[in-house]
């Protein structure tokens, strides 16, 4: 078995470019050899697999280099944020198996940031602009043409102070004024053209600070400072922030040094550094929070945790394991080049993981009854089954007794797949046909079909066969070879399961690149529901989920010939619900 393949892969892989930077910093004793990262989600939506790429980086660096990774909620826009999201983000990260040091909120720093803004105003480095957002945008210029200065740019300091304080007191209407940094309207980096530091938001209370604040800091003014207050050494983010980095450094330049001692506990030489890597994009899905929210709100999916969603809770419900997701991140790696990852690689990774661990059980999706006419009722005992079955034993994964066995009740009447029987077949058909070949029933006996019965419409209702009592698997006769093995489930003990067959959410490779409405590109066949007959060993799933470290555990199965499945939380004491994680066929390596 290739049990440790992925672990070996990751040990053997060369350092990614961020790890190289970290090792160099450690070698040079930068920031006293301290390693501190943060994962900074905005609590305005659910985490998706793109975020997991950042999580694996931020937490991974801390784990690997004996540092700490904190969780910081970047909650500077009360209009979109909610405690609901804070809770799901924590739950998802814990499920992925990462442990944060502290939990911080950007809103913890609202007072400090406000005081800094006042300080900027007093030093002539910020001004209150009364223009409309459109006017401000128009004056920005283009990368090749300089911008135009606002008529309010040279307001006296006293007036700026008075207006900014009035903004905070709630005396100015939302959208009427902003505080801008006075930097350089001709700078080739557009982010330097007097970026907005603060805006007014009075329409929504903040999920933590309520109505305490009427002005809220913008990302650029909040992020670097928050890093600095906390002592972050490596502020790792995605490539779209690369053009923000000079501004990140500019704001830090203004607050570090002797004048500002005391803002951070790490002394005058300490300095956080921003580093950027490529975002994750995956085919046949969307990862924009806005689009995902639309899918949820409009009922186009069943919720944030719909198994077709690229969210962490969706992947979890689809049957992805934390290990598979982490292995996937290891495989794709971190670079400075944006690209698109084939969803097939994600599916390949979960197959690789589940093939080693998921018990393989029988489930019949399109059942037809098989009656074994020469089966003696004297063999029927199997107490738990009410004296109607012969208790056979099957290995969870063939050839691996160490992975456990289970009881597979056998009897006179079985469910088999309709497609495994043909009334008239040529000699290329190796499965059941009257007068045809011998066929092995998975982990049990060899049978031969003798005939069938049909209803008025000509649909086959029952298949008849005889069995060879000396051919039982696990006995000497069990070694006899047949051309085909078919799956079966004993009728009296079988369990009905609702099986949700999920496929890709979108019909096109890159829905974000297409013209028109992305909702028109949804795959109409992304969910089919069938009722299957499954073997009685799955009866144990009709219980409350098992908790491990307070986290509900998902149970995975391979339904033979059908694919990998996970038990859905909709399962009750009466009804089993299974979700298809992926099919068995792997086209990725081709």
Q: Which residue is nearest to ligand ATP (CB)?
A: 50
Identify the residue among 30, 54, 56, 181 touching ligand ATP (CB under 6 A).
Answer: 54
Q: Which H or E run includes 325? A: helix 322-332
% helix, strand, coil for the chain, step of 5: 35, 25, 45
| Shortest Cβ 85–ligand ATP spacing (Å) | 9
Strand, coil or helix: 502: strand
Q: For ligand ATP, which stretch binds (CB under 6 A), given 45-53, 134-142, 350-358, 546-554?
A: 45-53
Strand, coil or helix: 32: helix
| Shortest Cβ 168–ligand ATP spacing (Å) | 25
- Full DSSP string of 52-120: HHHHHHHHHHHHHTT-EEEEEE----TTT--HHHHHHHHHHHHHHT---S-EEEGGGGHHHHHHHHHHH
* Total of residues contacting ligand ATP (CB under 6 A): 15
| Shortest Cβ 320–ligand ATP spacing (Å) | 16
Asked if 563 interacts with ligand ATP (CB under 6 A), we say: no
Do strands 103-105 and 68-73 pair parallel, antiparallel, or not at all (unpaired)?
Answer: parallel
Nearest to 567 by CA among 584, 548, 542: 542
| Shortest Cβ 220–ligand ATP spacing (Å) | 13
Asked if 174 interacts with ligand ATP (CB under 6 A), we say: no
| Shortest Cβ 554–ligand ATP spacing (Å) | 24
Nearest to 307 by CA among 296, 315, 297: 315
| Shortest Cβ 329–ligand ATP spacing (Å) | 10
Asked if 42 interacts with ligand ATP (CB under 6 A), we say: yes
Identify the residue among 22, 46, 50, 307 touching ligand ATP (CB under 6 A).
Answer: 50
Q: Which H or E run includes 448? A: strand 446-454
Indicate the residue among 276 and 568 with the shorter CB distance to ligand ATP.
276
Q: For ligand ATP, which stretch binds (CB under 6 A), given 48-56, 188-196, 358-366, 529-537?
A: 48-56
Q: For ligand ATP, which stretch binds (CB under 6 A), given 40-48, 308-316, 331-339, 467-475?
A: 40-48
The residues annotated as belonging to the active site are: 42, 279, 289
Positions in 14-33 near ligand ATP (CB under 6 A): none
Indicate the residue among 89 and 414 with the shorter CB distance to ligand ATP.
89
Positions in 245-304 near ligand ATP (CB under 6 A): 279-280, 287, 289
Residues 85-99 as b/e (b if ≥16 CB within 10 A, e otherwise) read bbebbbbbbebbebe
Indicate the residue among 335 and 461 with the shorter CB distance to ligand ATP.
335
Q: For ligand ATP, which stretch binds (CB under 6 A), given 43-51, 497-505, 545-553, 580-588?
A: 43-51
Indicate the residue among 221 and 410 with the shorter CB distance to ligand ATP.
221
Q: For ligand ATP, which stretch binds (CB under 6 A), given 46-54, 222-230, 369-377, 457-465?
A: 46-54
* DSSP conformation class of 481: -
Q: What own/partner pairs with CB < 8 Å and gap ≥ 24 does 18-24 have?
A: 18/57, 18/61, 18/234, 18/236, 18/275, 18/277, 18/334, 19/61, 19/64, 21/234, 21/275, 22/61, 22/65, 22/234, 23/65
Count of residues in the chain? 590
Positions in 69-88 near ligand ATP (CB under 6 A): 74
Chain position carrying tokens 């203004």:
254
Give the whole-angstrom CA distance, residue 312 versus residue 200: 33
Contact 168, 128 (CB under 8 A): no
| Shortest Cβ 51–ligand ATP spacing (Å) | 4
Binding mask 363-382 for ligand ATP (x = CB under 6 A): --------------------
Do strands 551-552 and 547-548 pair parallel, antiparallel, or not at all (unpaired)?
Answer: antiparallel
Positions in 220-249 near ligand ATP (CB under 6 A): 237-238
Identify the residue among 22, 25, 41, 375 touching ligand ATP (CB under 6 A).
Answer: 41
What are the residues binding ligand ATP (CB under 6 A)? 40-42, 44, 50-51, 53-54, 74, 237-238, 279-280, 287, 289
């Amino acid at each position: 078995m290739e049990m440790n393949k992925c672990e070996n892969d990751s040990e053997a892989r060369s350092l990614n470019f961020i790890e190289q930077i970290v090792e160099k910093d450690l070698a040079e004793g930068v920031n006293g050899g301290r390693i501190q990262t943060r994962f900074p989600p905005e609590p305005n939506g659910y985490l998706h697999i793109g975020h997991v790429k950042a999580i694996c980086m931020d937490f991974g660096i801390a784990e690997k280099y004996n540092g700490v990774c904190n969780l910081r909620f970047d909650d500077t826009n009360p209009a979109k944020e909610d405690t609901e999201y804070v809770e799901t983000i924590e739950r998802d990260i814990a499920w992925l198996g990462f442990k944060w040091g502290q939990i911080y909120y950007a809103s913890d720093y609202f007072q400090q940031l406000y005081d800094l803004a006042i300080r900027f105003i007093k030093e002539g480095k910020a001004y209150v602009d009364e223009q409309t957002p459109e006017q401000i945008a128009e004056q920005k210029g283009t990368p090749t043409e300089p911008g135009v200065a606002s008529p309010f740019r040279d307001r006296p300091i006293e007036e700026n102070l008075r207006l900014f304080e009035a903004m905070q007191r709630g005396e100015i209407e939302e959208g009427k004024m902003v505080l801008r940094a006075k930097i350089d309207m001709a700078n080739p980096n557009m982010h330097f053209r007097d970026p907005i530091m603060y805006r007014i938001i009075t329409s929504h209370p903040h999920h933590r600070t309520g109505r305490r604040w009427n002005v809220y800091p913008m990302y650029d003014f909040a992020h670097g400072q928050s890093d600095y207050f906390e002592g972050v050494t490596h502020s790792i983010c995605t490539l779209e922030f690369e053009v923000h980095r000079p501004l990140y450094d500019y704001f830090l330049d203004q607050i570090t040094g002797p004048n500002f001692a005391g803002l951070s506990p790490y002394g005058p030489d300490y300095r956080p550094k921003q580093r950027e890597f490529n975002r994750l994009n995956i085919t046949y899905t969307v990862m924009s929070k806005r689009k995902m929210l639309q899918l949820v709100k409009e009922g186009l999916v069943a919720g944030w945790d719909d198994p077709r969603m690229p969210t962490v809770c969706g992947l979890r419900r689809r049957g992805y394991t934390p290990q598979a997701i982490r292995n996937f991140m290891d495989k794709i790696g971190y670079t400075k080049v944006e690209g698109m990852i084939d969803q097939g690689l994600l599916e390949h990774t979960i197959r690789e993981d589940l093939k080693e661990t998921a018990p393989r059980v029988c489930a019949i999706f399109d059942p037809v009854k098989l009656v074994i006419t020469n089966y003696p009722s004297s063999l029927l005992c199997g107490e738990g089954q009410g004296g109607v079955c012969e208790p056979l034993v099957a290995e969870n994964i063939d050839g691996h007794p160490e992975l456990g066995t289970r009881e597979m009740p056998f009897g006179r009447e079985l469910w088999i797949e309709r497609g495994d029987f043909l009334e008239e077949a040529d000699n290329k058909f190796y499965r059941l046909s009257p007068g045809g070949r011998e066929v092995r029933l998975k982990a049990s006996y060899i049978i031969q079909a003798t005939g069938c019965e049909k209803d008025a419409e000509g649909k086959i209702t029952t298949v008849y066969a005889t069995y060879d009592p000396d051919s039982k698997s696990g006995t000497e006769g069990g070694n006899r070879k047949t051309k085909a093995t078919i799956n079966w489930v004993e009728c009296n003990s079988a369990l009905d399961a609702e099986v949700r067959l999920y496929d890709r959410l979108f019909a096109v490779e890159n829905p974000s690149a297409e013209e028109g409405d992305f909702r028109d590109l949804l795959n109409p066949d992304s969910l089919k529901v069938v009722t299957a007959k499954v073997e009685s060993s799955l009866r144990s799933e009709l219980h409350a989920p098992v908790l491990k470290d307070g986290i509900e555990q998902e149970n995975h199965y391979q339904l033979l010939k059908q694919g990998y499945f996970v038990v859905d939380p909709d399962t009750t004491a009466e009804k089993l619900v299974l979700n298809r994680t992926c099919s068995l066929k792997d086209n990725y390596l081709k």
